[in-house]
Structure 1
Amino acid sequence: MEGMAGQKSTLVWAVNISAFLLVLLWTIPTLGLLVSSFRDRDQIASSGWWQSFSASEQTGFVRTGTDADAVQRDGLYVIEGNVLAEGQSLVAWGTRARDPGAHQPGETVETSDGWQLTVAEDGAYVLTSPTPFEMRRGERIFLTTKAPPKFTAANYQRVLTAEGLGRAFMNTLTVTIPATVIPILIAAFAAYALAWMRFPGRALLTAAVVGLLVVPLQVALIPLLRMHNEIGIGKGYLGIWLAHTGFGLPLAIYLLRNYMIGLPREVIESARVDGATEFQIFRRIILPLSFPALASFAIFQFLWVWNDLLVATVFLGNTREQLVMTGVLRELMGSKGGEWEILATSAFISIAVPLAVFFAMQKYLVRGLLAGSVKGG
């Protein structure tokens, strides 16, 4: 019978399919970003990343030579050349922007100036006129071409060799490491007090911590910066460390408190009976047992600080010596932010270190997040 011990429920298949679909929904955009990082601007503008593995059609125009390139042959003035780039094949061509594929390769047509134009299948064109040409910019030939799949590492070379990227990398490390360690140290002490120490107002403090989780950091940026300026901190590493610490503490305290409150009470009570102080219990019992929760929060905090741009811009500055990696990568995209190939490449370069941190500590992530989900107090 369904639901009996030793038999799997049919809902297991639904759960497995749902989990697979969720993973797929997260993986497909990441794959698209990775593929786009190896494409140039023209490819990204003309086709989607899913079309990058097959030949793609592109439209555009080229100009013929000018009257300076004309030669006389059999009583005619002739301009010759080729309209195709390496690897391209001609699908159709035309002389008007409204109908760029009006003619097939090999056809000969008369232009609006009375000249004869022929474009062969290999891209070679011949423009002839019975009288001398009078043009300085050349005749436009509109093309529909097909290009084979092409990938390039030029985007990565451009980003990795960008001016100031090495300094920005060190700036990011200087911001991220202390901004991850300081909240953990403070939150561990606070979480232990809220979980195991009895004092008036403990419930109110816990409720206040939970309430601070919903406060958006954007509303506190300018008031906090003004306070930094008034007390003499100004813009610098100390200010941004304190800012990230303040914004990260509510989640850190909440996560660690939920974990610590689920630890065996008997162990802690036995330590107290043996005469251990609160600090000894915290250092020798609570911290070693809470390492999964500490690691899980460290992953989240490291990711948030490493990928941050807003807080770094407000509390650190925009000079070349102060920019973090996200700031340098933003400048590479240009003032209008239209260089999508640089955006995709920058995304993968910027996540290299966070990925290394995540995979190094991932075994603690689920344990730390699920801890305290059953027990509570």
Structure 2
Amino acid sequence: MTDMPPAILPPERFQQRLLAWFDAHGRHDLPWQQERNPYRVWVSEIMLQQTQVATVIPYFERFMARFPDVASLAAAGQDEVLHLWTGLGYYARGRNLHKAARVVVDEHGGEFPVHSLDEMAALPGIGRSTAGAIIAQSTGRRAVILDGNVKRVLTRLHAVEGWPGRPAVERRLWALAEHYTPDERLVDFTQAMMDLGATLCRRGSPDCGRCPFEAVCVAHARGEEKRFPESKPRKALPTRTTVMLLLQDGEGRVLLEQRPSSGLWGGLWSLPQFDDAEALQAWLDARAPGSELEPAWTPFIHVFSHFRLEITPQPARIGRLDAVDEARCWYDPSDPPSIGLAAPVKALLASLAPFALTTTAGP
């Protein structure tokens, strides 16, 4: 019988292997690694949550160009922040980023509380792992991280059974992360852990042949790399339906509404939404009498993490409209304002030509 790798590696051995690999093969030229400070690291960490590096880089660079420091971000309006976030998804991250900037300015004098893991983790949108990453990456002080990449590395290395979202499994992984985290080279170590998971110990196609832990990885020794980490028990995604009103005036402008600050697409601008065609018609009769409906476009599906949304775009020509209040605006596709848009709404608006609505096909 083949000898199995040890259950726990000595931390020094783990650190040496990891850092030697990172020095030769790690990522050293990411934009947030330049001019490193708590603000830049924080923005990158929030953007990188559930989003790949290649996608984040242009967003990060645009964000830094407009908001070079936490004070400029805190002073901005939410619309402008979400406009720059449009396309990254998970918009609660953008709203929390803005909220956290204001907390840092108002309650911490414009300085991130990197002296305290608990105070960092208490900021909106920052949990224990993100707080640890910001502290380690920006100050070099010892702080433990356990993001998705690190969970995957440790789960495979030790063949940790169970979905990592379960409290008992997560406690086990935090203990392993604590065990392996060194007292020195924290900037490199935390980046190396994230790089290893992102570039070699990938979710669907791990590159075990180039991994520094190939010889000691329990999952690899069993030939079960793809079994770990275990997936979250799946439930069938429910499907909801909505009708989106594409109400266009004689100048080609489209009516938008700002969503409530919480809930679906919180704080973003969207097309007016209705449960069904009857509710949409009732709204038009009450708010925009004399409007003419065009044939509805083909429905399409937008998938969220917890449900599927079937969207039916319904174009219409306006008759007249009651006064537009602060929660509504006219959007000119030929000269779009800098506001945050829900992703499917952005796609629908991009498909519109000024002064014309197609009546035969959807986006």
Q: Relative CO higher for 1 or 2, CA cutoff 8 Å, sep ≥ 6?
A: 1
TM-score range, shorter chain: under 0.3
More helix by share: 1
Of the two, which has the highest radius of gyration? 1
TM-score w.r.t. length of structure 2: 0.20
